[in-house]
Amino acid sequence: MADRDRDPDRNQPQEIQLLHPPPHYRQTGPSTTQIVAVLTLLPVGGSLLALAALTLTGTLIGLSIAIPLFIIFSPVIVPATIAISMAVAGFLSSGAFGLTGLSSLNYGLKRMIRANAGTGVGKGQAKRGMWDMVGYVGQKTKDVGQNMENKAHEGGGAVRT
């Protein structure tokens, strides 16, 4: 209460600030910050444009030198490109097959755990069963491969699995 009595301006009505200045105060041209921004960005943009032109020129000169070399060495470049692309495709497909195998093993393990959850079979026993199945499939694959190799060495014939 004592603060109100000491401050004579407190009881005076406050001025209302206008959101938009009156028409005679409006600026008709760009502001100084806009002018400074344009003056700053103009040399930067010009220098980047010059660098782009230099890069394009260098690329065109390099292509004009490289195209005859590509034509001369194409009997070497084309097979090399094919070999490299096949190697990359092989690595990518082996990675995809590996991920597919791991995810299918994970799916089978989870399925066995869920199926045996009500029968009292523990997680360790389910994992052992899964690893036994993986070992069996691996051994069967080795046997089939060995059988095919033996048949190939014998000179052909039907392959039994």
Label residue 17 by pLDDT band (50, 70, 90): low
pLDDT bracket for residue 21 (50, 70, 90)? low
Q: Where are the domains of the chain?
A: 32-147
DSSP, residue by residue, the chain: -HHHHH-TTTTSPPPPPPSS--GGG---S--HHHHHHHHHHHHHHHHHHHHHHHHHHHHHHHHHHHHHHHHHTHHHHHHHHHHHHHHHHHHHHHHHHHHHHHHHHHHHHHHHHHHTTTTT--HHHHHHHHHHHHHHHHHHHHHHHHHHHHHHHHT--PPP-
pLDDT tens figures, 51-103: 999 999 999 999 999 999 888 888 888 888 999 999 999 999 998 998 888 88
